[in-house]
Amino acid sequence: MIKAIFLDFDGTVFSHHTSSIPASTINAIRQLREKGIYCFLCTGRALGEMHDFDLSDFPLDGWIMSNGQVILDENMNFIYEKKVEGKLKDTIISLFNEKKMPMYVVTREEYYINYLNETVLNIQSVISSGIPPVKEYKGEDVYMASAFFSSEEEREVLKEFDGIAEITWWNEGAVDIIPKGVSKISGINEILKRYGIDVSETMAIGDGQNDIPMIEYCAIGVAMGNSYEEVKKYADYITDDIDEDGLYNALKHYELV
């Protein structure tokens, strides 16, 4: 019996073609919650990014943010957080200050970037997001970083994270950087402990590279029809495209709605 469902945001819940959450998705989540099935967003997005979206009609039981580094309850109260520390933090801040490529750091409630270029502007527009403010690092706690690349030469910088970070691509020109061993599973496990739910009672739905761990981990893993081909290899079920009611159809396939 499924008691909790973990949902990616971009390309799973939110369509960048329509710049909205499909009505069928909102309806499905409401039905699930009425049945007592918990629904959690599980995204690489930082809390500061979510202000770009109107989620007032999208009810949730909790939020796993920054690929598992931050968790909030249904009222947006912090219930778990894990800071980036040690060598990884030093490397992130060094690259941020040196401005070898555009890079933003995620603090507790905001995110900001070292500089902007056309690559950043193009990628942010593709994901329906605003432009991060340009700021200098002033010593804040860091929870995650993202970097943008315009060339293969810039990508060579990623070698500096070998052995100390998990690198996940969320666009052909952008990555998330989090501590080694951390993934969306880390956040899921914190939720399972809090609510007394076993992993055998869970479902995960996603479309991107950073969704692979949770799609593999949960009892049922669903890949959206618009997923990267690599993601589909790990899914128990491949549903339709987000703009063809993919999330709703997956839940209907498993007789949850």
Q: What is the pLDDT of residue 246?
A: 97
Class of domain 4-82+182-253: alpha beta
Strands (E), the chain: 4-7, 38-42, 62-65, 70-73, 78-81, 103-106, 111-113, 144-148, 165-171, 174-179, 202-206, 220-223, 237-238
Contact 5, 205 (CB under 8 A): yes
Q: Indicate the DSSP class of residue 233.
A: T
Question: Which sequence spans correspond to the domains of the chain?
Answer: 4-82+182-253, 86-179
* Cα–Cα distance for residue pair 98/39, rounded to 1 Å: 41
Q: Residue 3 has what DSSP assignment?
A: -
86-179 is a CATH 3.30.1240.10 domain? yes
User: What does the pLDDT read at residue 205?
Assistant: 98
What is the mean pLDDT of each successive set of 10 residues along the chain, which is 257 residues long? 96 94 96 97 90 86 93 91 95 95 92 95 88 94 94 87 91 91 91 96 95 96 95 97 97 97
Give the separation between CA 70 and CA 80, rounded to whole angstroms. 6
Res 101: pLDDT = 92
DSSP 37: -
